[in-house]
Structure 1
Amino acid sequence: MPVTLDGKIVIAISSRALFDLDESNKIFEERGEQAYTNFQIEHEDELLEHGVAFPLIKRLLGLQDPETGQNLVEIILISKNDPNTGLRVFNSIEKHGLHITRAAFTRGRTPYKYLNAFNSDLFLSANQEDVRLALQNGFASATIFAGAYLGKDENSEEIRIAFDGDAVIFSDEAEKVNQELGLEEFQKHEVEKCEIPLAPGPFKSFLAALNKLQKTFEKHNKQLIRTALVTARNAPAHKRAIKTLRSWGIGVDEAFFLGGLDKAPILESFDPHIFFDDQHTYCVNASRVVPTGHVPSGVKNAD
């Protein structure tokens, strides 16, 4: 039978999201491709340190079907290196014991067009333009924020993932009303339409895939994945968000309706392995305490 990735969550990740490649990237930006190539080859046996997304990826790779023992998540390395300079990344993958065996090396060209070939559910990158192109082509995608977050890891097997609502899980329909008419009209609009589900946002399908994984483990009394909605909405606009998720047949384990308060304190308490938000300001604050991915979608990110 042909080899397929059917039944797995597939996450494509760039080398700079997985590992700390700041020094290498600085050489590329300041001295050009040839200097970068020479540096990578000269240091290809030196271990790369963890990047912001490393703890998340490490845990996801550990998720196995309780019945078959097969991995439930496939990680694809999507790198703008060429195969020659990319060898250092694969050497570090091996030394860190990560079961990542598939990759695409595109030598400077944006990799978004290969996401469909791998049936990718999520794309994580340090390059904002690559992420924008992926989002425009229908893939859940986020730019990893370096921020001030230094990274941490713990022994727990639990994976925690947090999402903003509007323009991330949901469309930006309601956010457009807020931007154009103000908070009072936004609240009125959401109360009037509380029985009408919001259209899906770019991360709806990824949340649904996580829900499916949760149910796989719950059959065996295991709770390895925990999700949270962390939104600037508050009452009475919370109803439409909850009823939209209900209409989709998916849910979250925790929900925080903050009414515009800074999300960082709540996120620090929930301690997700990644948080996704469309608003740059929230991402900057969140990235100081938790790994954060900026989702450049919706009216807040319109050019």
Structure 2
Amino acid sequence: MEAEVVQTVANPDAIPQVGDEKALIVAVSVGAVFAAEEGEVYGAGVAFPLLQAVQTVNERLLQVDPSESERFQVILICTNRGHQRQKERLQSSAKAHGLHKHRFSFPCEDDFTDTLRENKVHLFLTTDSTEATRAANQGVLSALLDPLSASGPSEQLRVLFCADAILDPGQKTGTREAVQALASRLGRMRRRFGLADSPLSLVLLTSHGGLSRCRSALKTLRSDGVGVDEAYCLGGTPRGLILPLLRPHFLLGAAEE
């Protein structure tokens, strides 16, 4: 049986390349980006608004400073064998939807986590909880996308930090450190923009613990150079009531119930 080889495909329509040492590298599963539809072009999946927003952040960063090197670099990672046989269709679909990706990656299903580590991915986004768990177990910070992600705005990237990922000793140390490292990088990006009309919005959500817990989380984030745009202390109110109003593209850390 022939060994399966990871194939990485550059996108000639991509925006200018970002050096890996400066880039904030996000891998997104192809299954989250495209919906399985008949025809030459795949339909838009739940990650579509997120990728549009990421692209907007990159474009605005270059408007602020054409030499800016700390930008998002997105990898569309395909672990589904059916999708892997549709490489050209995937690339043409990305172009048709105006998603200027850096590159596609087609690892085999069994070792996609190796590809994440080899590409020094800072965050892996997927709709598959099994994939997210496998990646997290291999030390790659992961977040699940769900139908709510599809309601996020395309002109502003909205990232929600949950207090447990910032404060709780019960979180795995590596996970907490990875969240804080990512938050620090996002904070630096956010500071490139003014208070109003920013293409990047950082939100803090505290489900339990009252105002003191919210203050502690804010203090921790600020010590990492992260200033949030919005903070919500729910005091035990189910988060499901407010998330549709906040419209985050993804949550970092499982919010407390």
Q: CA 1:150 to 1:258, structure 2 compared with 1: closer, same or farther past 3 Å? A: closer
Indicate conservation of the 8 Å contact 2:201/2:229, yes or no. Answer: yes
C-alpha deviation, 1:75, in angstroms: 0.8
After superposition, the C-alpha distances for 1:224-264 in whole angstroms (9 at most, x for unaligned) are: 21111112131333332233223323232211111221113
Which of these residues, 144, 169, 176, is aligned with residue 173 of structure 1?
A: 169
Which of these residues, 211, 217, 226, is aligned with residue 250 of structure 1?
A: 226
Question: What RMSD in Å do the two structures reach over aligned CA positions?
Answer: 3.1
Distance in 2 of aligned mates of 1:231 and 1:150? 20
1:4 is matched with: 19
Letter in 2 for 1:86: K
What percent identity do the matched residue pairs reach? 28
Q: CA 1:80 to 1:278, structure 2 compared with 1: closer, same or farther past 3 Å? A: same
Indicate conservation of the 8 Å contact 1:79/1:86, yes or no. Answer: no
Q: CA 1:161 to 1:153, structure 2 compared with 1: closer, same or farther past 3 Å? A: closer
TM-score normalised by structure 2 residue count: 0.76
Matches within 5 A, 1:231-246: 231-233=206-208, 234-246=210-222
2:80 is matched with: 81
Q: Which has the larger strand fraction?
A: 2
Question: SS where residue 111 of structure 1 aligns?
Answer: helix
TM-score normalised by structure 1 residue count: 0.66
C-alpha deviation, 1:114, in angstroms: 1.3
After superposition, the C-alpha distances for 1:38-88 in whole angstroms (9 at most, x for unaligned) are: xxxxx5x52212111110111102323222176821110111135433332
Which of these residues, 201, 209, 225, is aligned with residue 226 of structure 1?
A: 201
Indicate conservation of the 8 Å contact 2:160/2:251, yes or no. Answer: yes
* Larger-Rg structure: 1
After superposition, the C-alpha distances for 1:137-186 in whole angstroms (9 at most, x for unaligned) are: 3222012224xx493465x73222212121x334x31689xxxxxxxxxx
* Residue correspondences, number: 231
Q: 5+ residue gaps in structure 2?
A: 1-16
1:160 is matched with: 158
C-alpha deviation, 1:127, in angstroms: 2.3
